Chains A and B, each alone.
Chain A
Amino acid sequence: MAVSTRNAAAADARGRRRAGPGRLRRSFGAHWYAWAMVAPVLAVMLVLIGWPLARGVYLSLTDATEANIGRTIGVNVIPSTYEFVGLDNYLRILTSELFWDKLLWTVIWTVACVALHYGVGLALAVMLNRKLRFRSVYRVLLILPWAVPAFVAAFVWRYLYNSDYGVINGMLKLAGLGPVGWLDDPVTAKAAVIAVNVWIGVPFMMVALLGGLQSIPAELYEAAEVDGAGPWQRFRAITLPGLRQVSSTVILLGTIWTFNMFPIIFLVTRGGPGSETEILVTYAFREAFTGIRDYSGSAAWGVIILLMLVVLAVGYRRTLRSQGDPW
């Protein structure tokens, strides 16, 4: 066994990058240890994600609610009585105005947050990348919000926004202005949750982009300056292209994270006022776990959200690849 492993390893070391499935048996001989190493994670994902996912998709095709799902009360086992209803849930959701309302707000939320994360993060990264006194002090202080767990941040901001005791209204009063019910009005509540999420998310973008900036060779800037390029031209022609790899990654990750950002909205506004600040994810959650729990409806929302994100990620990657990025 040891000998064959060694041979396989040697063969692999020689032909590492060569994609050669060849015969199944040879492939197994050459790759079995790679597969063995991947196996634990695959097993976990299959059992913990694959199975619930399959069941979730199935539930979304039924009319399961709290009332008709199988359960055990004491010693009594009540069997499930929900039925397969095909695409009814999807049709109901996709034809409801509510869905399109929530989708619109979720898209606005995601685009606004990611744009601000990226814009502010890039601006700060560029500033921090210059020769500057106290640079590392600034850097550490600016990273601080990242260290605050999201749910703690959500509670802190809820306190800041409080209409009676919140410091934001306190400052408005000092400035001689009336108090604002930040979380009671749809427009200000939306602005408020975006502000919280931007506050939390900028440090990550800033540090990632700073890393990207520092990997751009200084000679490029020198050459450009010798050629008479101004600061803006250098930014356009060197900085932005130099950051492309990092940017495309953090934007995709940021989009996915923001689209699914649960705790901020759930804890800052609880989706309110009404359900004005509810994004798709928090809505689906509420649907499943408040009132009469609508398991099938919630599952259908989940499937729709997931499909949208997969389409987004595939499209995004394809676009990047067609532009020559290896990503």
Chain B
Amino acid sequence: MTTYGSGGRPRGERGALASIGLHAGLLLAVAISLFPVVWLVLTSLKPRDGWLSSELRLFDDSSLDNYARVLTATEFPRWLLNSVLTAGLTMVAGVLLAATTGYAVSRFRFPGHRGVMWLLLVTQMFPVAILIVPLYNLMAGLGLLNQIPGLVIAYMTIAVPFCAWMMKSYFDTVPIEIDQAGLVDGLTPFGVFRRVVLPLARPGIAVTAFYCFMTAWGEVGYATVFMSQEDKRTLGVGLQQFVGQHWSDWGLMTASAVLIAIPAGAVFLLVQRHLVTGLTAGATKA
């Protein structure tokens, strides 16, 4: 971790002024990065109409009123369930399908290897707009509008290439000697993958799965048009109702935002170190 500092002359040594500057800069950045989140939590704890003021009063008469309303008087629990189901299914299908591909492009130089890598990258570029219309018509034809499986299918177009890409970078970090040892012991390439490499890549799979979950969890475009029925909405769509064109209730909005962000944030902070490695390692070694 320490990049500076080695015997003799102390390195990276700064004057007091530089230290103050450094901490001041970082504190400012922390303030900016935290403020919206802190304000969100504070607003959600205000009483029912507390959001109607921007006064900076803290914990004056805080209450859990907004939370109670969100959980009992709105469709929020339903949307939450829809979101969890959709994102969960997307995650499972994405990881299952993508694991072998990630392994193949990581290990084997087969004809078509470059093509597959390129395909995975190009599909990352797909704007919502190009697939959404044909997918919408396709779903309408198959009767899959307002159905969770329909939305999962739409999300597979985002999740599968993405998962394969991330899995590749994790397999890249597993030494190839392990595969070779497995082959020498008489396993087939599939056997090596299933019995040797897959167990070793478990942390990578976990991170990929999580990222995949979050991608589906936070998607708004597809969900907005595919799930128009009230009780089929996901969170990203449903929440738009709380702050519509003519009527808004920021109390409901902030309370639900906190309910959504806190569990996701907690898991996120646990895995974030690996997220970046997964994304960038794969790309730099392509």
Contact = CB atoms under 8 A, between A and B. Distances in A.
A17 interface: yes
A214 B277 CA distance: 12
Interface string A120-155: 100110011111100000101111111111111101
B12 to A, nearest CB: 5
A44 B153 CA distance: 10
A179 to B, nearest CB: 10
Nearest to A210: B276
A143 B274 CA distance: 13
Contact of B101 (A5, A13, A41, A263): A41
Given A55-B134, A250-B280, A166 B101 contact: no
A199 B36 contact: yes
A273 interface: no
A256 B188 contact: no
Given A6-B188, A199-B33, A281-B127, A156 B40 contact: yes
Interface in B249-286: 250, 253-254, 257, 260-261, 264-265, 268-269, 272-273, 275-277, 279-280, 283-284, 286
A56 B131 contact: yes
Contact of B133 (A12, A37, A59, A225): A59
A131 B29 contact: no
A103 to B, nearest CB: 13
B76 interface: no
Range, interface on chain B: 35 or more
Contacts of B121: 313
A279 B107 CA distance: 40
Interface string A191-207: 00000000100111001
Given A34-B104, A40-B101, A225 B11 contact: yes
A235 interface: no
B43 A159 contact: yes
B221 A285 contact: yes
Contacts of A256: 124-125
Interface stretch (A45-53, A88-96, A182-190): A45-53
A287 B175 CA distance: 50
A305 B193 CA distance: 38
A49 B250 contact: no
A85 interface: no
Interface in A248-300: 249-250, 252-253, 256, 259-260, 262-263, 266-267, 280-281, 284-285, 288-289, 295, 298-299
A256 to B, nearest CB: 5
A164 B22 CA distance: 36
A27 interface: yes
A218 B22 contact: no
B218 A263 contact: yes
B32 interface: yes
Contact of B3 (A218, A252, A267): A218
B279 A131 contact: no
Contact of A52 (B25, B39, B138): B138
A115 B178 CA distance: 42
A313 B133 contact: no
B6 to A, nearest CB: 7
Contacts of A142: 26, 29-30, 33
B220 A262 contact: yes
B133 A141 contact: no
Contacts of B122: 310, 313
A249 B283 contact: yes
Given A33-B190, A159-B250, A313-B122, 20 more contacts: A17-B109, A41-B160, A41-B161, A51-B138, A56-B134, A130-B12, A142-B33, A149-B236, A159-B40, A160-B39, A165-B53, A218-B6, A260-B125, A260-B126, A281-B127, A285-B129, A288-B136, A298-B129, A299-B134, A306-B125
Interface of A: 2, 5-6, 9-10, 12-13, 16-19, 21, 27, 30-31, 33-35, 37-38, 40-42, 44-45, 48-49, 51-53, 55-56, 59, 69, 71, 120, 123-124, 127-132, 138, 140-153, 155-160, 162, 165-167, 169-171, 173-174, 199, 202-204, 207-208, 211-214, 216, 218, 221-222, 225, 245-246, 249-250, 252-253, 256, 259-260, 262-263, 266-267, 280-281, 284-285, 288-289, 295, 298-299, 301-303, 305-306, 309-310, 313, 327
Interface of B: 1-6, 11-12, 14, 22-23, 25-26, 29-30, 32-34, 36-37, 39-40, 43, 51-56, 97-98, 100-101, 103-105, 107-113, 116, 119, 121-138, 140, 153, 156-157, 160-161, 164, 179-180, 183, 186, 188-190, 193, 214, 217-221, 224-225, 235-236, 239-240, 243, 250, 253-254, 257, 260-261, 264-265, 268-269, 272-273, 275-277, 279-280, 283-284, 286
7 contacts: A10-B183, A41-B116, A143-B272, A157-B36, A165-B54, A253-B124, A281-B127
